[in-house]
A and B are shown apart, each in its own frame.
Chain A
Amino acid sequence: MKVFRIFALLFVLALPAIAEPYAAELTAPWRTRIAALSKPKALSGTFTERRHTPLKKQPVVVTGTVRIDRGRGLSLSYDQRHAPIVILDERGLLLRHADGREQTAPPEAENDLRLLHALFAFDLATLEKSYALAATDSPDGTWTLVFTRRPDSPATYRELILAGDATRLTAITLAKTPNLKTAIALAPPQLDPAFTADELAHYFR
């Protein structure tokens, strides 16, 4: 009977670890923060993207608008002329060109895209399989979540970083190597905008 009680106690203690991803890394306040971040059903805002490449001395800077609809995924429309709309959803990546052509990502990119989708959707359970997490709070109220690739993961992104302040997500960094990375700065977004049917059809699939 005593043995049974010990097992029962161990089971109860282990329950949160089974139920919650990153149980050891994320305390209750963090979970509250993440829940708040993922609460809006939709959002829309501008962004500035800095692409660091070993080819160039300075990063390439592009701007655009990000739209997120929790049911449909993420959409990036760049300000450059003729740039395709980038749609990332549960089905993967789609580039929708101005002339109506649609281009999907090659099959070998599927794993990375699934993980990126998980990052934007705050799907911690999926991320946990491939990335270790370090969560940091700063005294000034800013925070970072640094996802570092696990040694056995097939992901090509070595590091994914989410940064924010008390109320919102302010930056996302996707790094393959120290000098091959994309840093996206997000302006304060409009929460739960009402996308029209045309916008949904144009920016999502």
Chain B
Amino acid sequence: MIVPKSNRHALLALLGFVALCGAWLLTIDPGEHFTTDVAELLPADERDPEARLALSLVRERQGRVVLVALDAPAGTPTAALSTAARAHTDTLLASHAFVAAHPLADQSWQHALGALLHKRRFDLLLPGWLEQQRKAYVAEATNEPFPTWLAARATADLDAHLASPTGAATSDLVASDPLLLLVTLSGQTAPLAPAPGTSPDRVLIWAETRDGPLTEAGQQPVFDALAAAATAARAHVPDLTARFTGVARFAAAAKASTLGDITRLNTLALACVLFITVLFLRRLHALLHLLPVVFIATLGAAAVTTLIFPRVHVLVFVLGSLLSGVAVDYTFQLVLARRENEPYAVRLRRLAIPLLGGAGTTFAGFLALTVSELPLVRQLGVYVAAGIVVGLVATLLYFSLFPRLDLAPRRLTLRPSLPSRLRTPLLLALTALAIFGLTRLRWHDDLRSLEYPSPALRAEDAALHASFGQADTGATLITRGSTYAEARTRWQHLADSVPAGGPVTSIASLLPSPDVYAAATAPASREQLAAFISAFRAATAAAGFEPDAFDHFHRDFTAYLSAPSPTYETLLRDTLDALPGPLALLAHSDADGVWFLSTVPRAIDVPAAAEGTLSLSGIEGLNHLFARYRAATSRLSLAGILALVVISCFLHGPRLGLRTAALPLLATGLAFGVLALRGEAFGLFHLLGALLGVCLADDYAHFAHVDDPAHPQGRTAIRLSGLTTAASFAVLMTSAIPAVSALGATVALIVVLALVFVETDLFSLHPHA
């Protein structure tokens, strides 16, 4: 067979494009380029500080925490369970997937905190104590020198403490801490790590993974290590049950479920498209010609999207599965509109305006989304816009290779047409219904609608957190600053301004504020403290203390006074870096600044005076962001619709152009109205569905212009396009991801309504009208 030269160029162009796109996609690392992380649906440079901090919490050490509960059968000897727990933690640490693993019962990190505070007690705790004593000294207005007064007061406080009920329990500590700097802290440090409930048959393990939960290394290797650890533990207690929870588990489950959804939806959509096509076409083997076009459109869309975005969310591909429905539209319009003995070039010229009009408006609509600040919307915009262009060009080039291809449409003579006199009243009635429905429209923006629901995992997660003493009541606050000094100062404003009854628990309470630290380390203060130490020795001797009772304290205090004080930033950085176990998660510093976590026992509104403090209420707390993204997407969608109207008017003139644009707009308005009247709450993905629906419905309006009654295959093309698209999106309605389901319902309804409008020629778009 001799292939014409122009066809050779088309073939080469198609093969070259496939080769280029294929080569590019084969070179990229799926683990690096694709993500299932809900957090990555938000911009990395999100300007909302709460969102930025919430995301950093997941990405930083907080997200790497894994909580494990080992449950033994009732009556298991304590020693056996302890050995099993030790085997579990040893296996985790030996796996390299974990950097820390502590059975909570051993309290080793609490002791480590105590040792840390004791070692640095003069740097951390003396400044606050000194500040309090100074205030008391000023209030007393005595003529006694401050060091002597302070020594007498410290001795009296010490005597009172030893006579208190807790005095007997702290004798060992008091020898090195007669100023009671640490003793008075016990009430503050205990709530920092909530006490787990005790059960003789259960061991709770707190562990930290080496890699983040959203990376490959932070998932499967972690699960493997946990499985190996459970096996090691069962060597000592055979019927041991091991449960665990962590962000990694949710992330892995979401990834597996989403990938399963992609496969299922795409397969089902393709099956629906083929089934409907079989109903309309007789030459079934010719349907194989659909596959290359869909394949090239999808390949091109994926290549362009991954070329532009370094990381693409897999949800884009779930939503992008609609391309299989859209890409075949052009095939149907182009191939079914074939007329006997009409050259391919002439057919192209005849269909140029509807093809360009349909594809152009869809392209423009989705192109508008590419300026969205939401990565998912941007990526979806690029994916669909690229897919539309590639799909159209691929269709034109591919079918130039088969100019005589005949899909043999079945003859369907049904051509319903609404009497002209009914069109205007019906239009008015439908418009009124749409407007009425739109007045009932209710927005509900929920970031969780993007997640694959996993109620069993959530229930287990809640149960495990409860076992660890982590109640879901109360509020978590985060106080940030550019430096340690700023963050600590802001935290003080928070602590001073929370309502009564809402004590703030934070590691920051153990750290001196910058001004208090500066006062305590000033040369004048140091001189007074040097004088105090002699006076204290005399005062304690006079009060009946043994001469050598506080040798340890005197030695340490003298060393403290003779060494230079660290700078405030150095002190806090070194202290917080050395925090052990779960306490290390209560503060964080990086190039962007510093933050402290705080908790209050009940939900509060952050006081206005607490600048730099935000309330974190989990992922749900970011819903306001979603509302902002939706509002921004609304504006972009309106811009896209305006472009659609302008393109229609440009192609068809103002009257026909406006009628053409009115069809998709009424279909969309009516679909929204119907869904609103059904009580459906709308979100961002209904809006994206509406934009897509407008573009698709606009395609059919354009194709209606060339629907010649003398050539009924044109109507068949519209019907086939509409029904295959509606089926593709109806398939999306079955997705377990609420956002995908919402988008599917919206588009399917719009397309069905648009098809009805075209069939009844409600807008008088057909040539015979």
Contact = CB atoms under 8 A, between A and B. Distances in A.
Interface string B146-188: 0000000000000110111111110100110000000000110
B195 interface: yes
Contact of A54 (B166, B187, B549): B549
Of listed A53, A54, A103, residue having the most chain B CB within 10 A: A53
A60 B165 CA distance: 11
B86 to A, nearest CB: 17
Interface string B177-214: 00000000011001000010010000000000000000
Given A51-B167, A180-B171, A182-B168, A57 B546 contact: yes
B195 A53 contact: no
B275 interface: no
A55 B165 contact: no
Given A55-B162, A55-B175, A76-B165, A106 B190 contact: yes
A108 B107 contact: yes
Contacts of A95: 165-166
Contact of A57 (B107, B162, B545): B545
B163 A60 contact: yes
A60 B198 CA distance: 35
A56 B546 contact: yes
B4 interface: no
Nearest to B158: A55
A182 B166 CA distance: 12
Interface in A43-90: 51, 53-58, 60, 62, 76, 78, 80, 83-84, 86
Nearest to A101: B187
Nearest to A108: B107
B544 A57 contact: yes
B162 A103 contact: no
A107 interface: yes
A80 B175 contact: no
Interface string B377-399: 00000000000000000000000
A103 B187 contact: yes
Contacts of A62: 163
B549 A56 contact: yes
A182 B165 CA distance: 11
Contact of B544 (A56, A83, A86, A110): A56
A56 B187 contact: no
Contacts of B549: 54-56
Contacts of B195: 107
Interface of A: 51, 53-58, 60, 62, 76, 78, 80, 83-84, 86, 95, 101, 103, 106-110, 180, 182
Given A51-B167, A53-B168, 13 more contacts: A51-B163, A51-B168, A55-B174, A56-B545, A60-B163, A80-B160, A95-B165, A101-B187, A103-B187, A106-B110, A107-B107, A110-B198, A180-B171
Q: Report the 3 A-B pairs with minimum CB-CB distance, sorted nearest first.
A: A55-B549, A86-B165, A53-B171
Interface of B: 105, 107, 110, 159-160, 162-169, 171, 174-175, 186-187, 190, 195, 198, 544-546, 549-550
